[in-house]
Amino acid sequence: MLAVQCVSRVRNFRSDNFGRCLIFTVSTWNINGIRARKDSLVDWLASNKPDILFLQEIKADIAKIPPVFSELPDYDAFWNDSTFKGGYSGTGILVKKSLKESLGNPIFSIPEFDAENRIVEAAFKQTVLIGIYTPRGEKDDHYELKLQMLEQLTLRAQGLMQNGADVLICGDFNVAHTEKDVHSSQNKPNATGLRPKERAAIDRLLSAGLIDITRALYPDNSELFTWWPYWKGAREKNLGWRIDCFYVSPQLATRTRKVEVDTEEKSSDHSPVTLVLDFPI
């Protein structure tokens, strides 16, 4: 019932319903190699200027991350770099330095249930933001790891919200949760990312009290895809999947203004996705 009430409030959102806030942007992007996408990422940051950017698949250990990302004048960086296996997985966060004036210093961490450098966290006061890159899960061991990570993520979100925190989880989940989240041409029974257990794991995450805010804001849009196969014409014809998502606690859902998929940015096989909300200060 709480989720239904929250969705209703999201649709009726007015920014003047709240007290003192700042307009706050959080982006997530599976960059598919920070070295290969260095110039595109620098340009995208300069053009879009998100307050926080979560990155997935950086595919580099700390020594191989391009120095430009440690020298950005407007951002602090925190990495869960590719120590498990060179050139594989890896995640990170870029946070605007100016946020410290209104929100204080973020507390960066890597949850205990992290595996293969796939999760990062940033906490601002009573708000915890988590970026995740779950395994695709084509092989049996990675399929089990995927389900385990989603289960642990659900428990983490429950614990945080029970302690009074607002929670935002974003990233590449490698699951198209519903039939609307995958183009019909890609919708094959028991395909990786569409299997019942994977979708049920997202169901449990939402049942913990989180809102799929993109779907809440745009319930009838079945073309909000964020990833496309490398097949010829797949991206041009929008034959994609929505697997890069924002799941937020009810209080943050009611403060959300919009979610946008930047389909113009095509340097990776994933598009950046940005959430805009009114953040209490």
Q: What is the pLDDT of residues 34-59, one digit of tens each?
A: 999 999 999 999 999 999 999 999 99
Report yes or no: 53 and 195 within 8 Å, Cβ to Cβ: no
Per DSSP, the residues of 147-196 read HHHHHHHHHHHHHHHHTT-EEEEEEE-----SGGGB-GGG--TT-TTT-H
Terminal-to-terminal C-alpha distance of the chain: 28
Residue positions forming the annotated binding site for Mg(2+): 30, 57, 172, 174, 269-270
The answer on pLDDT for 232 being more than 80 is yes
Report yes or no: 81 and 66 within 8 Å, Cβ to Cβ: no
The answer on pLDDT for 15 being more than 60 is no
pLDDT at residue number 280: 75
Query: Which residues on adjacent β-strands are paired with residue 27?
Result: 53, 274
The answer on pLDDT for 178 being more than 70 is yes
The answer on pLDDT for 108 being more than 90 is yes
User: Higher confidence at residue 10 or residue 220?
Assistant: 220
Task: Point out the residues that are catalytic.
Answer: 133, 172, 270
The rounded mean pLDDT for the chain is 93
Report yes or no: 245 and 227 within 8 Å, Cβ to Cβ: no
Of the listed ranges 9-13, 94-98, 137-141, 148-152, the one predicted with least confidence: 9-13
Residue positions forming the annotated binding site: 30, 57, 172, 174, 269-270
List domains and CATH numbers for the chain.
2-280 (3.60.10.10)
The residue-averaged pLDDT of 221-234 equals 95
